[in-house]
């Protein structure tokens, strides 16, 4: 790169443990991966930007060529799109469901079943209509949607419908997800987050989730469509405190001083200081 400094603005870290973070580093797969990264690694960077001390340590543990003193806690520039003059954009009466793509075939088939059942959930559509909310489901592009038509207040978003996910998040009133790092972005808005982790035990066993993930699951953790219905009804009625979940997410993912935007400026100031510009 002719001496250029490489800066990484990563998608996110999340609570999933990567190969380097596993207890057994002597397995053959880990050794081969370590050798490959030692010889040639596209992920090499001079500076990495993240959102908290917890994630700084996690990034250092899971990223092969990361140096601890090159990881800066500045917030993620993409999240400036959530704020205007330091305040979150007004929330619309929409709920966004962003499920994590399952890498194994059986897990993906089960996810597709969940989504298609939601699209035909008459009682849920009636509840949404009663409180004037719309549920937007944005699945991975490889997820198969079997229903050709769906209800007025439950809709599918395709990739062509979403030009920028951060702009969409800025306007959403509630988020439903499971294991996605999007929870860190959305928690900055201090709005309800529902964890629809219907396959929690199986997913955690296969994907080595960090213990902190279990600590953010509380009043808004649901395991099936009926529980999702009940939690949404309580949120609409104001009879459930969602702040405990949001506060738990923020305590790990977003430093207290980094919850009101200004992340692009933070990154620029850091680089100006480091490079002596």
pLDDT tens, N- to C-terminus, the chain (277 residues): 677 888 988 777 788 877 555 545 556 766 776 677 666 666 678 899 999 999 999 888 777 667 889 999 999 999 999 999 889 999 999 999 999 888 888 888 999 999 999 999 999 999 999 999 999 999 888 888 876 667 899 999 988 899 899 999 999 999 999 999 999 999 999 999 999 999 999 888 777 788 899 999 989 999 999 999 999 999 999 999 999 999 999 999 999 999 999 999 999 999 999 988 7
Q: Position of tokens 């198969």?
A: 144
The total number of residues written for the chain in this structure = 277
Cα–Cα separations (whole angstroms), residue 198 to 2, 57, 111: 49, 29, 9
For β-strands 221-222 and 193-196, DSSP reports them as parallel
State the Rg of the chain over Cα: 20
Q: Position of tokens 């799109």?
A: 81
DSSP string across 244-266: HHHHHHHHHHS-TTSSSS-HHHH
Model pLDDT, residue 23: 47
Q: Where are the alpha helices (DSSP H) in the chain?
A: 28-39, 53-62, 105-119, 122-130, 165-171, 182-187, 200-207, 212-216, 225-237, 243-253, 263-275
Model pLDDT, residue 19: 57
- Does residue 49 sit in helix, strand or coil? strand
């Amino acid at each position: 790169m002719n001496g250029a400094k490489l800066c990484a603005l990563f998608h996110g870290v999340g609570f999933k443990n990567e190969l380097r973070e596993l207890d057994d580093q002597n397995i053959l797969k880990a050794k081969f991966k370590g050798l490959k990264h030692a010889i040639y690694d596209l992920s090499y960077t001079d500076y990495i930007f993240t959102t908290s001390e917890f994630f700084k340590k996690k990034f250092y543990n899971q990223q092969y060529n990361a140096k601890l003193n090159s990881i800066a806690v500045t917030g993620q520039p993409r999240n400036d799109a959530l704020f205007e003059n330091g305040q979150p954009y007004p929330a619309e009466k929409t709920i966004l469901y962003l499920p994590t793509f399952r890498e194994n075939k059986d897990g993906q088939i089960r996810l597709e079943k969940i989504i298609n059942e939601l699209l035909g959930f008459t009682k849920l559509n009636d509840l949404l209509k009663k409180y004037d909310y719309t549920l937007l489901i944005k699945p991975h592009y490889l997820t198969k949607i079997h229903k050709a038509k769906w209800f007025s207040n439950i809709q599918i978003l395709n990739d062509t419908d979403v030009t920028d996910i951060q702009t969409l998040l800025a306007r959403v009133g509630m988020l439903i997800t499971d294991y996605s790092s999007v929870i860190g972005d959305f928690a900055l808005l201090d709005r309800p987050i529902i964890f629809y982790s219907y396959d929690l035990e199986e997913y955690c066993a296969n994907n080595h989730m960090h213990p902190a993930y279990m600590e953010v699951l509380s009043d808004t953790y649901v395991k099936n469509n009926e529980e999702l219905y009940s939690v949404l009804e309580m949120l609409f009625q104001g009879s459930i405190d969602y702040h405990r979940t949001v506060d738990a997410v923020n305590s790990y993912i977003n430093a207290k001083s980094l919850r009101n935007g200004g992340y692009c400026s933070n990154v620029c100031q850091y680089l100006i200081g480091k490079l002596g510009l």
